Structure 1
């Protein structure tokens, strides 16, 4: 059985919730429909004509990409323009396009974590905070013999974390009353008769980003036809998420040595470097894409070097004056997300025994050539 488009995107949004995106970012479904079975999903950095041709070759009817194909409202949809031809081709072949951009940058296990891990950074922190997950309290009433099952389902879906503690809950046993009405199929009792049941009141903490997933898991594990539960908003915050990462290397290296590591880890033929090649590097900041405006954030984080793309001339001079080194491997290093997201989605699809395959695009969308 193939996964429906909405189910594939739900898995994607477990990794990169839309709420993590910066304001006005162009994310989500940009073209096509998710109301269909997905045979193959192609994971791409950009959606170009070559990527669409690849989707046709691998029989993918959904593309999940990092960079948007629609940046602003369209004044027209003329199919004799480059963009118009691309949209026409996607529509003709019923290929949907879903975008996960800054939410994938920010997410745990997203692009910036992939970049940090690839060069060996340890214990990272965000460079620029953009989202703080709010907390809610979930209370549900469960028959005693199902309490363990329902608790486990909620914990597995992301509930119950307080700081570095997991599986946190509070439980009180009591008596629940109810009268099943006409047309009901009660787990306990009979229609028309007032019933009493020994129940456990389970209270746990749920981050807002996991609320839908936790509630769905709870309802699925609960034996009752109609489940009594409450969600309370709390004046508490949990983890803060942000763009970029800063962390320490396991062992110091020179700036020149780090450049070689970056080329190998990010599969680029060359990098631009700002700073003394023999400078000793201990703490590194990384930010996928275009991160020149985050030099001050990297300095504030105590980084010796910032690795990011699209560094301009004046930013390079400012960094030299401020005493921080720069490594620019180009914007396209975000291609690291293709295999990372494909692997993540395939694991999730396999867990649910769906036939849908997640495929990392092999198309090179780097517009620059080095001569």
Structure 2
């Protein structure tokens, strides 16, 4: 039987990578237009949702658009089909095309937009430029019959429990004997009503982020054979994974600022960049933030960056950077288009066993021309 893939399955995949709680509170991420339960066969990944993007999706029979920049960002008071945005929304509804946005949550996610930009430039030893969220950790201990220990352990791990660094399925198991007495009205998996049962059980302990508790408990109880699974949850003082905006790292070797500019143009496929500073100066430590990042100039300088790469630099912050001795390269906001191919690869791998086609938008949403 062919498994039907629905929008909610794609959303779950995206939120496994870029959880919605990582987004800034001013952002609007998640479902923008459409239905959670709509079946989906073709997905298109884009940076922006413009009318041209929607027309492209219609042409290719797309069911779902995954975008970085939200279609609905500021509150709308009307959907006016005499405007480009109004027509885009009208066409989406007429053709039953859903839209989902992963914006600042994808910027902050491990392996997200800012890591993609680092990958393109070959930055090593990278760290988060500005940490704004550290996951709270919990310990979950569950008692399960030996016969079902593997299934319960795997179910929890697949939902994000027991992930430490580059390792998954991290648990500790200890054997023991559980007792219980099924009372009237019960339907015990083991034992009989009115009699004390003695069962060889395993205590499985694992660690998980607080944000994944609900899904891990759901998976654990679904895999557990008992009517009522016995488990404990403990708060942890250990530091959980950190998330934040931007990255800072190093080049393998020093190069001139002018050479770095050429590398940026090549890596991000842009014809021009704006730059401040001495082009002959050697640089090695690079801060980078996709999108509009001028307010993090001082953070980049504080962390010892030689160069800060970001978009949408305005005049006076650029002067400030020049005076503080921090070179700036502005390749434009549109370099975030790097997310299209990375997201396609991620979803293609995630749904390798499903009949879902992932494509990348070819529509040009860069508003600027360079002449």
Bin the TM-score by the shorter chain: over 0.9
C-alpha separation in 2, matches of 1:297 and 1:366: 28
Query: Does the CA-based 8 Å contact 1:285-1:298 persist in structure 2?
Result: yes
Are the structure 2 counterparts of residues 282 and 181 from structure 1 closer, same or farther at C-alpha, using a change threshold of 3 Å?
A: farther
Query: Residue 256 of structure 2: which of 246, 254, 258 is its match?
Result: 254
Are the structure 2 counterparts of residues 343 and 216 from structure 1 closer, same or farther at C-alpha, using a change threshold of 3 Å?
A: farther
Residue 110 of structure 1 deviates from its aligned partner by: 0.4
Query: Residue 96 of structure 1: which of 90, 95, 98 is its match?
Result: 98
Query: Does the CA-based 8 Å contact 2:120-2:267 persist in structure 1?
Result: yes
Residue 214 of structure 1 deviates from its aligned partner by: 3.0
Residue 62 of structure 1 deviates from its aligned partner by: 1.0
Per-residue CA deviation, residues 36-77 of structure 1 (Å, 9 max, x unaligned), is 111111111100111111111222111111111112222222
Residue 192 of structure 1 deviates from its aligned partner by: 6.5
Query: Does the CA-based 8 Å contact 1:187-1:223 persist in structure 2?
Result: yes
Equivalent residue, structure 2, for 1:18 = 20
> Equivalent residues in 2 for 1:1-371 (5 A)?
1-161=3-163, 167-169=170-172, 171-179=174-182, 184=187, 186-190=188-192, 194-350=196-352, 353-371=353-371
Residue 362 of structure 1 deviates from its aligned partner by: 1.6
Residue 182 of structure 1 deviates from its aligned partner by: 5.1
C-alpha separation in 1, matches of 2:260 and 2:196: 72
C-alpha separation in 1, matches of 2:5 and 2:232: 31
Query: Does the CA-based 8 Å contact 2:47-2:68 persist in structure 1?
Result: yes
C-alpha separation in 1, matches of 2:281 and 2:307: 10
Per-residue CA deviation, residues 129-186 of structure 1 (Å, 9 max, x unaligned), is 12111111212111113323433443344323456876143535231324276584x5
Query: SS in structure 1 opposite 2:364?
Result: coil
Q: Greater shift after overlay, 109-118 or 264-273?
A: 264-273
C-alpha separation in 2, matches of 1:220 and 1:190: 22
Query: Does the CA-based 8 Å contact 1:172-1:202 persist in structure 2?
Result: no
Are the structure 2 counterparts of residues 54 and 225 from structure 1 closer, same or farther at C-alpha, using a change threshold of 3 Å?
A: farther
C-alpha separation in 2, matches of 1:241 and 1:308: 19
Q: What is the alpha-carbon root mean square deviation over aligned residues? A: 2.1
Are the structure 2 counterparts of residues 156 and 253 from structure 1 closer, same or farther at C-alpha, using a change threshold of 3 Å?
A: farther
Query: SS in structure 1 opposite 2:82?
Result: coil
Q: TM-score, normalised by structure 1?
A: 0.92
Are the structure 2 counterparts of residues 24 and 125 from structure 1 closer, same or farther at C-alpha, using a change threshold of 3 Å?
A: same
- Structure 1 unaligned regions, length at least 5: none
C-alpha separation in 2, matches of 1:272 and 1:369: 14
C-alpha separation in 2, matches of 1:10 and 1:226: 27
Residue 343 of structure 1 deviates from its aligned partner by: 0.7
